[in-house]
Structure 1
Amino acid sequence: MITRPLPYSPYPRSSGERASGTRPADAGLIPFVTQREGEEAAPNNLFLEKTAVRQHRLRYQDEDPRDRDHRGVLWARCSLNPVDGRLQPTGAPQWKLMHPLRQRLTMQAMRCQVCAQPAKTPLGYFFLAGPHDIDTSEPPVLTSQPPVCAKHVRVAIRLCPHLRRDTTVFLARSAPLYGVLGVVYGYGYGYGQGGVHVVACPDSPLPYGHPNLDTFLASQLVRRLTIYRVVGLDELANVMGQVT
């Protein structure tokens, strides 16, 4: 099973904070991967190119090498807002959306989805999941959520109501790339369906090497947790003491 995007929302102020006028230091923190208002999908100029082996390959009419990942899969385009003095994206957050490029870059480089710094710790990488996001009894264990650095594990849990209800913390020593989430394109025939359009929206990610990737438009990179352990919240403080 695979985790869905974390529905981050602004940190709720408690009655004590309202009375004193103080707020936690992380109250205004916005995860790096969160899409911002003003960051929009690029105009659709996709087409299917016929290859030498009589198959088709999805392409942009003005394709750039950066449009494909290191495995050759085509990625959805989304504009980028200017960054601030801390090199963080600007614009009001769209809390339930992850920016395709920022998700891809952090997941590929194993950087923290909150601050974009390296997420590796002496014990491995932290991955977070909410209730019912991952069933470890049904392998493979897959996630599209980039890791979180030790500094921001507790912060991410506090920021996200979904996680605060019942957080699962995975500490993984091995999390190889698995594949991509996205949609399959093809030709449409019939009234109102001419040209190239989406023909399938798989619920599960396609693994690298899948034959449908030639006509696939990716939006999220997925890793497979292989060597990992689940860290209970009651032992999280002890584990954090070992990695910080």
Structure 2
Amino acid sequence: MTATAAEVVVPYITAREGEEADSLLSLNVRLGPDRRPRLGYVDEAAPDRDLRGVLWARYSMSLDFGGQPTGSPKWRLVHPLRQRTTMALLRCQVCTVQLKRSDGILFVETADDRDDYTGPVKTAQPPVCLEHARMAARRCPRLRAKGHVALLATRFPLYGVIGTPYQYTADGIQPLSSTDVPLPYSHPQIGWFLASQLVRELREYTVVNLDDLVPAA
């Protein structure tokens, strides 16, 4: 049987074989704008931090001649820079098309039976276009395993990041346990956090059925 286009497309944010995290030896302690010590890179450059000043994990990229990700997909891993870019710029996590905001932006999040979806929802899943929404729900191992909920949001400010906290000890800079719990940008220890995923807080949204929005694949 011939595979359909939806079955061979790999979401843009998916990490690929050959893409690796930078060595922890590149981390050091630097003074921030407030003259307080914070986590940094030995050879830090402007793109290493987001617009809120948070340090981001470096991760190599395997690209083809057209500048697109190439290599076998690591389905359970998300590339930090590609996730950050699509979430910050509100581009589809699959095809990177710029999403319009007139009717709202579609987010497909892991379903939570304990959530009645009447309050804010924090998500690290970048938005998705209508064409690729159902495919994104199938491709993400977590969404596939736990089920998904589709949220059409009209208010979704940046909230914070997911990643790894660090501390400075007598043995130098040491990582603490990574966490999936989003750390808000306002947290006092944000300067010692190495981010790997950007998080938005959906404050105004409607729960929708993807079957009502997307033609059958």
Using the size of structure 2 for normalisation, the TM-score is 0.87
Q: Is the 1:157–1:164 contact (alpha carbons within 8 Å) kept by the matching residues of 2?
A: yes
Change (3 A) 1:186 1:138: farther
Runs of 5+ unmatched residues, structure 2: none
Larger Rg: 1
Change (3 A) 1:28 1:210: same
In 2: Cα distance, 1:38 partner to 1:211 partner: 35
| 2:74 corresponds to 1:97 | no
Instruction: Look up the match of 1:46.
Output: 27
- Number of positions where the alignment pairs a residue of Structure 1 with one of Structure 2: 213
| 2:205 corresponds to 1:228 | yes
Instruction: Look up the match of 1:33.
Output: 13
Partner SS for 2:133: helix
Partner SS for 2:176: strand
More strand by share: 2
Change (3 A) 1:28 1:202: closer
Runs of 5+ unmatched residues, structure 1: 1-20
Summarize deviations over 1:162-216 as a string: whole Å, max 9, x none. 5457331111111110001111111234xxxx11011353442111121101111
Instruction: Look up the match of 2:52.
Output: 71
Aligned-residue CA RMSD (Å): 2.4
Shift of 1:77: 0.3
Instruction: Look up the match of 2:151.
Output: 170
In 1: Cα distance, 2:202 partner to 2:36 partner: 33
**Where do residues 1-244 of structure 1 align in structure 2 (5 Å cutoff)?**
21-44=1-24, 45-50=26-31, 55-85=36-66, 87-120=67-100, 122-132=102-112, 135-136=115-116, 139-160=119-140, 162-163=142-143, 166-189=147-170, 194-233=171-210, 236-237=211-212, 239-240=213-214
Shift of 1:57: 1.0
Using the size of structure 1 for normalisation, the TM-score is 0.78
In 2: Cα distance, 1:164 partner to 1:196 partner: 37
